[in-house]
Amino acid sequence: SGINAEYGGDGTTSVIILAGELLKVAEPFLVENMHPTVIIAAYRQALEDAIDMMRNEVAKSVDTSDRDEMIKIIKSSLGTKFMKGWNDLACGIALDAVKCVHLEDKGGYKEIDIKRYAKVEKVPGGSIEMSEILDGVMFNKDVTHTGMKRRIENPRIVMLDCNLEYKKGESQTNLEFMQETDFRKILQLEENYIKGICDDIIALKPDLVLSEKGVSDLAQHFLLKAGISAIRRLRKSDMNRVARAVGGQIVHRTEELKESDVGTECGLFEIKKFGDEYFTFLTKCKNPKACTILLRGASKDVLMEVERNLQDAMNVARNVMMDPYLVPGGGAVEAAIAHRLIEKSKAIQGVGQWPYRALAEALKIIPKTLMQNCGVNTIRTMTNLTAKHATSGSTWGVDGETGNIVDMEEFGVWDTLQVKSQVLKTAIETAILLLRIDDIVSGVKKQSDIEAEKMAGKFQSQQPQEPQEE
């Protein structure tokens, strides 16, 4: 389940239900002394066939540039979740975020790193409708000195990864002064060192300096005099996002600063206050490759839930962008593959056909579970669904609210092929892994045995001792 969540971002429940059912249908074969390797071979063959059928016979391709089509797909992942009431807002945010961080080079390599470059900032207060995706980044910081500007249009931004303060010795350093002027000289050296660093920065005429390390009071003074705002101790991850949003490079030594390192693609730098906290906004970026999603909500619990829902929506959008194929939802794809596998099993020779067919039957647990959740008669509805798949196409599935059998093409519920194929792979591989275990030998005593021994010990100690003979 964890692997599936990490890889596809969805389908965690399906994996557990399916793996459990696969083990359940394998039990009768084990009771009849069929060897696990025979069952495993049949399961592996069925997995290969199922993945092949899903891609070539059931899936349909999708145009990722069609916004309405994409939003419809993302909506189906939020249908049963907390964000259902704000479907359009959440789907729009998720799609824009994924498009923002989507990179593709000339060699055809695609990268969509939501985790690193689409940051979700949760700010309690306000309503969910106030949530938005920024065309840039924001982080929870304020300028280092109250006299610095808090709003600059089209700022030139310098990003540093070095201290703007005097370097202290690595180990304990002792200085011996022979005259009183020596101490003054040392202070002057420190001041000159910091002035040198600040002059390197000021030479580029930036409006804003961001540093991952500290900024000393003296450096603040020099920068303030030059009309430069400074923000210190940014996280590495935040700095990487800023660099992708505003252009420019993160520099490790001020002597090496050059014009191409300055970020110039940001349209507006401003600091806003929410509650007691100050937040820095770098927005109106020309072509940002990183973004921040600002979530507002009544309480922290609401925000946590909204964030989880949004992660699911972004994962769906990412999966479709990476592999633009869809399969019908509502248990339709499982029923379609089950029907095809059962047909194919008739041509298999030997005992291997029975576990192969059992796997096909096990796949029906997904539509069955949907029917149970609706409270309809499972056996009757399942028979109808199987009949539909045998006679009229592979897009018939279960309506998750009424339990009726509907055509998913018209109903508009689709799943991504990437998630569905990963669910099958994970569930079948896990079942195979567990079938390989013959017996569990445990070196730890069961709790019941330990308690039984304790009781026996107490009983013996309560028995009256026979007097010993002299």
pLDDT in tens, 437-462: 876 666 666 677 777 777 777 666 66
Q: Are 66 and 313 in contact (CB under 8 A)?
A: no
- Residue 356 pLDDT > 70: yes
The crossing angle, in degrees rounded to 10, of helices 67-78 and 87-101 is 120
- Residue 470 pLDDT > 60: no
- State the average pLDDT over residues 364-379: 87
**pLDDT top residue among 398 and 11:** 398
Share of the chain above pLDDT 70, in %: 92
Q: Is 258 helix (H, G, I), strand (E, B) or coil?
A: coil
pLDDT for 83: 72
Largest CA distance in the chain: 107
Q: Are 51 and 425 in contact (CB under 8 A)?
A: yes
Separation of first and last alpha carbons in the chain: 71
Burial letters 95-112, b for 16+ CB under 10 A, else e:
bbbbbbbbeeeeeeeeeb
- Residue 269 pLDDT > 70: yes
pLDDT for 103: 81
Contacts 24+ apart (CB under 8 A), 407-410: 408/328, 408/329, 408/330, 408/332, 409/328
**Mean predicted lDDT score pLDDT of the chain:** 84
- Residue 72 pLDDT > 60: yes
pLDDT for 48: 92
pLDDT in tens, 92-138: 888 888 888 888 777 777 788 888 888 888 888 888 888 888 888 98
